[in-house]
């Protein structure tokens, strides 16, 4: 059974870089059929797609965050990572990693989410 687990600091200072890793277990990240994504949810608000990556390394970012986001994949560790630079309080959110299915059939496996607070 595929599982995803987010990890990283829960507190980041303003202007610094937020770094999170998603570890995939129970399956391989190197499937050409699936993609891997990051989604966030500010307190009391809705879901916002941050970006996605294929195991090949091809990346796709939300235009509103593109200048600050980098997503990478490490197939040897079965992990993919998120870096968000120059963070502000507006980046405080629960960050989820998830698997995207072929043919646009939704994101079918999600991590439990990790809370990141931006504060000095």
Partner 1 sequence: DIQMTQSPSSLSASVGDRVTITCRASQSISSYLNWYQQKPGKAPKLLIYAASSLQSGVPSRFSGSGSGTDFTLTISSLQPEDFATYYCQQSYSTPHITFGQGTRLEIK
Among the listed residues 71, 93, 55, 62, the one whose alpha carbon sits nearest the alpha carbon of residue 21: 71
Nearer Cβ to partner 1 (16/41):
41
- Could you give the string, one character per residue 37-66, with x where binding to partner 1 holds by CB under 8 A and - elsewhere? x-x------xxxx--x-x-----x-xx---
Give the DSSP letter of residue 4: E
Contact 97, 4 (CB under 8 A): yes
100 sits near partner 1 (criterion: CB under 8 A): yes
Instruction: Give the pairing type, strands 114-118 and 11-12.
Output: parallel
31 sits near partner 1 (criterion: CB under 8 A): no
| Least Å from the CB of residue 74 to partner 1 | 19
**DSSP states of 37-50:** EEEEE-TTS--EEE
Q: How far apart are CA 33 and CA 79, in angstroms?
A: 16
Q: How far apart are CA 90 and CA 9, in angstroms?
A: 17
| Least Å from the CB of residue 30 to partner 1 | 16
| Least Å from the CB of residue 107 to partner 1 | 6
Contact 62, 51 (CB under 8 A): yes
| Least Å from the CB of residue 75 to partner 1 | 18
Among 76, 88, 105, 120, binds partner 1 (CB under 8 A): 105
Residues lying near partner 1 in the complex (CB under 8 A): 35, 37, 39, 46-49, 52, 54, 60, 62-63, 96, 98, 100-101, 103-108, 110-113
């Amino acid at each position: 059974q595929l599982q995803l687990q987010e990890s990283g600091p829960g507190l980041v200072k303003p202007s610094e870089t937020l770094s999170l890793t998603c570890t995939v277990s129970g399956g391989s990240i190197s499937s050409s059929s699936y993609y891997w994504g990051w989604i966030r949810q500010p307190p009391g608000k809705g879901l916002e797609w941050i970006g996605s990556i294929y195991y090949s390394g091809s990346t796709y970012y939300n235009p509103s965050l593109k200048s600050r986001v980098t997503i990478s994949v490490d197939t040897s560790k079965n992990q993919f990572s998120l870096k968000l630079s120059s963070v502000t309080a507006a980046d405080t959110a629960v960050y989820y990693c998830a698997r995207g299915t072929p043919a646009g059939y939704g994101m079918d496996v999600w991590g439990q989410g990790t809370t990141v607070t931006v504060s000095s």
